[in-house]
Amino acid sequence: MRQISIATLERQVKTRIAKLGQCEPFIMGSLVESKRKCGNKKCACANGGELHSAWIITKHGVGNKTRSIYVPVAMLPEVRKWADEYKKVKELLQEIDELSEQIIAATKARKKAITAGASK
């Protein structure tokens, strides 16, 4: 297996970082549709009819506490784009992390090879 140079890995990291700078606004969370009854006894939802929809963003915060944020229907298309954009940002961050790990491993291997060659 051919080893990728550290310089190439670093260029790939910089490319991903530049892509992050081009990202649109995002929201860290999942857009979820919630169906529920409204509480009005005369409403169809209380009598076995279709339940009312509400859209929420679920966010995982500090201490594993989940927060829910109600999304007004008028904002739904925009918030949906934000949630989709977060998926792209998350993927880019994951790629940067993996490339950074490869840089560390390649640097360690290079130093090990240099010290092994010097001791001969």
Q: What is the pLDDT along the chain (120 residues), one digit of tens a residue?
A: 467 889 999 999 999 999 999 999 999 999 999 998 888 999 998 888 899 999 999 988 777 888 899 999 999 999 999 999 999 999 999 999 999 999 999 999 888 888 877 665
Tokens standing for 99? 């490339």
Q: Residue 61: what pLDDT? A: 77
Collapsing DSSP states into helix, strand and coil, what is residue 30?
strand
Helices (H), the chain: 6-21, 76-118
Q: Residue 96: what pLDDT? A: 97
pTM: predicted TM-score of the whole model, two decimal places: 0.74
Tokens standing for 20? 């992050």
Closest CA to 54 of 65, 39, 69: 69
Q: Residue 1: what pLDDT? A: 47
Separation between Cα atoms, residue 101 and residue 69, nearest integer Å? 35
Rg (CA), the chain: 24
Q: Residue 26: what pLDDT? A: 94
Closest CA to 10 of 88, 90, 101, 93: 101
Q: Residue 12: what pLDDT? A: 96
Q: Residue 39: what pLDDT? A: 86
Q: Is residue 95 within 8 Å of residue 9, measured between CB atoms?
A: no
